[in-house]
Amino acid sequence: MLKPINILLVGVGGQGTILATRVLAKAAQDAGYDIKVSEIKGMAQRGGSVVTQVRLGEKVYSPIISQGGADVILAFEKMEALRWLSYLKPDGHMIVNDQAIPPVPVLTGAAVYPTDCLARVKQAATHTIVVDALNIAIGCGNPRAANVVLIGLLARRLPIAKDTWLQALQARVPEKFLDVNLKAFEKGYAL
Amino acid sequence: MKELLSGNAAIARGAYEAGVTVGAGYPGTPSTEILENFAKYPDIYAQWSPNEKVALEVGAGASIAGARVLVTMKHVGVNVAADPLFTLAYTGVNGGLLLVSADDPGMHSSQNEQDNRFYALMNKIPCLEPADSQEAKDMVGLGLDISEQFDTPVMLRLTTRVSHSQSFVELKEPGPRTLRPYSKDPLKYVMVPAHGRLRRVFLEERTARLKEYSENCPVNFIEWGDRSLGVITSGISYHYVKEVLPRASVLKLGLTNPLPEKLIRAFAAGVAQILVIEELEPFLELQIRALGIAAKGKELLPSYGELSPALMADRLSKAGFPVAREYLAAAAAGQEAAGEPLPGRPPVMCAGCPHRGVFYTLKKLKLIVSGDIGCYTLGSLSPLSAMDTCICMGASIGAALGMEKANPELARRTVAVIGDSTFLHSGVTGLMDVVYNGGTSTVLILDNRTTAMTGHQENPATGTTLLGKPAPEVDLAAVARAVGVNRVRTVDPMNLAELERAVKEEVAAPEPSVIIVRRPCMLLKKNTAAQPVAVDKETCVNCGMCLQLGCPAISRREGKAHITAIQCNGCGLCIQVCKKGALTKRGDENA
């Protein structure tokens, strides 16, 4: 039996990780995989750390991914990439959005946002891709589509056909935002 | 048809398919989405009750009237509903009644992590524990069948991981929904002592029959593997066992109260040693050991927090158990990133949140704040740090009265802070106590017109029901007056001067006061047209006053205050705290 593919999506409340997870789950479902998704929302809307875990394979038991167990980490924010780095397999792929969202302890001056997030991530994870998803999304017409730029990057690296991804986007993205999100997906997919 | 559903959505679907026509509950993470999903199905009735006790009482009545019933709450909600539950266990049911208790191991969003399986044991009612969404859906129908067959309420015990994880569920067409006939039966439903004694005997008979049923119940099953190790497990732990100990023999228990004694003995006889793997308390382990079966469990795994495959692999491999190689490798590889520890990212009140000004003011006035449960509990976090206690739903008012009674000097320095939904849940009784027993507490009811923390549910003061129908709004000021509070006033928390004046005056008054602090949750009515605040860099002296609001839109850049325009909701609170007039809505500023 093939081992499941483990994907961790990490970010900050409000960045669209939940929609990204739903697109990924839909694509994996249509591609015929068994799936488990763990989505602890808790206080996500209140600006806390958000992590969702997606596992796909022939047969998946546990919905959660262990430290050192993620094949891919899709990080929507660069300090969160560093925070979850220990979950990446030694040969795993890290996809990082080059965006910093300072948490309140940093805003109030009680803590300092590390300046070397990307350097530390790159040093530990050999397969690291850094992308300015926010600016690409703005170029597509809506900064909120940054999540789908990242999904585009992920899509190229998973054994799921591109058409399946496009159908998943159509199924999960509200119609009035579909055009901008399809554009954002293509930009990400081309990277 | 197969659909990817969360455990909570699967339960709602299960209730719909099993012919449930009445659903009641009170919102609480991780249970909330069950009733929200159930309410979307056709031809059913669903409601939010003011609290879990009332929800279960509504459920009891609906069951006695002949309907199949779903009652939902988080684990601590069962404490509130425990009073009707302990006697409902005696009366039994007419239509099947399923009580969903969503426990929260790891306390993702709870004040404690009690293991509610013990409620089932103590009440002598069946307890079902699903491991994934398919089981969650199936156990709704099974639980209702058990409920009707054995004349008992049934507990369906979830955990956060089951509630909030998604997996595939096979959907079926809904079955028939017929009301059972109602008949008057005082010996069964009027629990006076003479009748209660009869039902007490019935409880023992029922438990004996349930034990027998448990032996052959399809959700209790053995998967034979390597006979050198037998694992007894339940709930989400089952999936962790399948990954971490893939070769072990497994007894998976879905009906965990009462336990199938013969099945457990047969399993134990078939393996060389027994390991019990369960989250939280040693609920299964204690009972298995009481059977005289040598079993290991909590000596290896913690009785607090969530279990995980990694944690299990670590502890079990150290104890010499044959852990799957990939988990051993993962445990070794999972090293922390080198370098300085990272700043935390705690949840925070949203930009524009109406609670922010309240806690800013309470901190400024150096008051003791008896707090409560809701978004406003975030007022306890830095930099506001303006909360002294938070115990349970509704506790703020009683605790404030207790402080005053213990030390009258605290009376003029203490306030209770409670939300609208929480006040209606169980704060109003505390307020009565203040008036009745001569307290002088000042109670701030933070009326943001919704039950915000759990995702904006309606409540008796919002004017709408769960099914979206208009409803009369509870008049909070009139309630306060009706219980005997003479000093009742309403203020807008976005007017800091008015708020501060009101708090000072009411705290000084030697009699009970209620201040209704009213402003809808910013997320409910987002003012998209509001102009963001701008900083005049010339005027800003970098005093940091605005940063003390803990607003996610405000930071310091190059020695000056900085407002991130896309985050700012233009509430204007920071303009009011700036002593230099450096913050204005004059113009725009790029993020």
Q: How many residues does chain B have?
A: 591
* Per-residue pLDDT tens over the stretch B129-139: 999 999 999 99
Structural contact between residues B253 and B284, judged by C-beta atoms closer than 8 angstroms: yes
* Per-residue pLDDT tens over the stretch A111-132: 999 999 999 999 999 999 999 9
Burial of A69 (0-12, 13-18, 19+ CB in 10 A): buried
Three-state secondary structure call for residue B88 = helix
d(CA A166, CA B540): 50
Closest CA to B188 of B60, B69, B57, B20: B60
| Residues 6+ away with beta carbon under 8 Å from B422 | B372, B373, B374, B393, B394
Residue B374's alpha-carbon distances to B49, B89, B354, in angstroms, are: 17, 31, 13
Of A136-150, B120-134, B276-290, B322-336, the poorest mean pLDDT is in B322-336
Kindly determine whether residue B345 and residue A80, on different chains, have CB atoms separated by under 8 Å.
yes
Residue ranges of chain B that CATH labels 3.40.50.970: 2-216, 356-518
Residue A146's alpha-carbon distances to A73, A99, A154, A157, in angstroms, are: 16, 10, 13, 18
**Which residues from B are below 8 Å from A68, CB to CB?**
329-335
* pLDDT over threshold 80, residue B377: yes
d(CA A54, CA A64): 8
Q: Where are the alpha helices (DSSP H) in B178-227?
A: 186-189, 193-216
For the whole model, what pTM was predicted? 0.96
Angle at CA B262, nearest 5°, toward B261 and B263?
A: 95
Structural contact between residues B351 and B341, judged by C-beta atoms closer than 8 angstroms: no
CATH class, B534-584 region: alpha beta
pLDDT at residue B588, as a whole number: 47
* Per-residue pLDDT tens over the stretch A33-88: 999 999 876 555 667 888 999 999 999 999 999 989 999 999 999 999 999 999 99
Q: How many residues does chain A have?
A: 191
Kindly determine whether residue B330 and residue A61, on different chains, have CB atoms separated by under 8 Å.
no
Stretch 102-161 of chain A: residues touching chain B, C-beta under 8 Å: 102-114, 116, 120-121, 124, 143
d(CA A154, CA B504): 56
Structural contact between residues B126 and B69, judged by C-beta atoms closer than 8 angstroms: no
* pLDDT over threshold 80, residue B526: no
Q: For the stretch B270-305, what's the b/e string if a residue is b when 16 or more beta carbons lie within 10 angstroms of its beta carbon?
A: ebeebbbbbbbbbbbbebbbeeebebbbbeebeeee
CATH classification of the domain holding A173: 3.40.920.10
pLDDT at residue A48, as a whole number: 81
* pLDDT over threshold 90, residue B326: no
* pLDDT over threshold 80, residue B458: yes
Min distance B55 CA to chain A CA atoms (Å): 23
Give the long-range contacts of residues B197-200, CB within 8 A, separation 24 or more: B199/B90, B199/B91, B199/B92, B200/B90
- Torsion over CA: B263, B264, B265, B269 (sign): positive
pLDDT at residue B590, as a whole number: 45
Q: How many CB atoms lie within 10 A of CB A58?
A: 11
Q: For the stretch B118-144, what's the b/e string if a residue is b when 16 or more beta carbons lie within 10 angstroms of its beta carbon?
A: ebbbebbbbbbbbbbbbbbbbbbbbbb
Contacts A–B by Cβ distance under 8 A: 174
**Which residues from B are below 8 Å from A57, CB to CB?**
none
Instruction: Please give, one letter per residue, the 3-state secondary structure of A47-109.
Output: CCEEEEEEEEECCCCCCCCCCCCEEEEEECCHHHHHHCHHHEEEEEEEEEECCCCCCHHHHCC
Distance from the Cα of residue B26 to its chain's centroid: 9
* Per-residue pLDDT tens over the stretch B64-76: 999 999 999 999 9
Kindly determine whether residue A38 and residue B334, on different chains, have CB atoms separated by under 8 Å.
no
For chain A, the domain total comes to 1
Amino acid found at B285: E
Structural contact between residues B241 and B233, judged by C-beta atoms closer than 8 angstroms: yes
Which architecture characterizes domain B221-332 according to CATH? 3-Layer(aba) Sandwich (3.40)
Residue ranges of chain B that CATH labels 3.40.50.920: 221-332
The CATH number of the domain covering residues in B2-216: 3.40.50.970
Strand partners, B447: B518
Q: Which domain range does residue A70 map to?
A: 5-190
| Residues 6+ away with beta carbon under 8 Å from A127 | A91, A92, A93, A94
| Residues 6+ away with beta carbon under 8 Å from B290 | none
Three-state secondary structure call for residue B301 = coil
Q: What ipTM, to 2 d.p.?
A: 0.94
- Mean pLDDT for B22-30 is 97
CB of A57 within 8 Å of any CB in chain B?
no
Distance from the Cα of residue B195 to its chain's centroid: 35
- For A21, which residue in chain B has the nearest alpha carbon? B166
CATH class, B356-518 region: alpha beta
* Per-residue pLDDT tens over the stretch B236-280: 999 999 999 999 999 999 999 999 999 999 999 999 999 999 999
HSE (side-chain half, CA atoms, 13 Å) at B307: 33
Min distance A90 CA to chain B CA atoms (Å): 7
pLDDT at residue B591, as a whole number: 39
- If pLDDT is split at 50, 70 and 90, which confidence band does A3 have? confident
* pLDDT over threshold 70, residue B336: no
Among B167, B381, B556, the residue with its CB nearest the CB of A36 is: B167
* Backbone torsions φ then ψ of A76, nearest 5 degrees: -85, -10
pLDDT at residue B589, as a whole number: 45
Three-state secondary structure call for residue B539 = coil
